[in-house]
Amino acid sequence: MASRTIPTSLVLSLALAATACGDSGSTEDTSSTFATGTTGDTADTTMDGMDEISTTADTTTTMGTDTTMGTDTTTTMGTDTTTTMGTDTTTSTDTMMECLDLDQDGYGDGCEMGPDCDDADFNNHTDEGCMNCMDADGDGQWVGCDTYDENKPGEDCDDNNYNVFTPAGCANCVDEDMDGYWVGCDQYGDESPGPDCDDNNAGVGVGDQQELCNGLAE
């Protein structure tokens, strides 16, 4: 069916007449909006406009992309190549040197008891002993030694008298009658023969008969 075009003036007249005839006590929205086009299609452009207004959306999009590609390429290659090769070769040894004691008297080089002035002599190890140990009278008894044993017996009470070496001998060895025969000695020799059978009688001596020594015979 062909559409008819209604003049705009007629539309306005009808609208005014309807308003005047209406009930003044009630309000009725009779307004209509017609959009006409020359192509014969009617479109509600007002609603389209409202839709455009009401559908306004925030289309703001933040696309800011941090494209900063700053890369810290600083590389610390400093390598400490300092090497301490110092080797402490100092050796502290508290161990005593091995004891060298040839005469087995406990004294010698590196020995705990001390050094030895003569490591070939068992009887002496001090300087004093090595200097003074002797048997001057040749009676087999020694004096001045550090120690005495069967090899060097002692100590001789009188190293200038062959006949005495004990305290008793040194005190009692005498020749009271001056006949050349001795009595009370530790031993007798060529220089001091004895014992005298009667050291109070010069007429008797070692070679006399026992009777004479007892005073029984003259």
Condensed to tens digits (0 to 9), the pLDDT of residues 129-156 reads 999 999 999 999 999 999 999 999 999 9
For the chain, list residues with pLDDT below 50.
1, 23-62, 65, 67-68, 76, 211, 215-218
The token pair that represents 196 in the structure block: 């005298």
Full-prediction pTM beyond 0.75?
A: no
Alpha helix ranges (H) inside 33-89? 45-54
CB half-sphere exposure, 115, CA atoms < 13 A: 4
How far is 2 from 10, CA to CA, in rounded Å? 20
Strand partners of residue 100: 109
Residue-level pLDDT at 217? 38
> Smallest Cα–Cα separation from 190: which of 199, 198, 180, 200?
180
CA 201 to centroid of chain Cα atoms: 88
The structure tokens listed for 65 are 């992309």
Rounded to 5 degrees, φ, ψ at 140 are 85, 5
Please state the domain extents for the chain.
98-157, 161-218
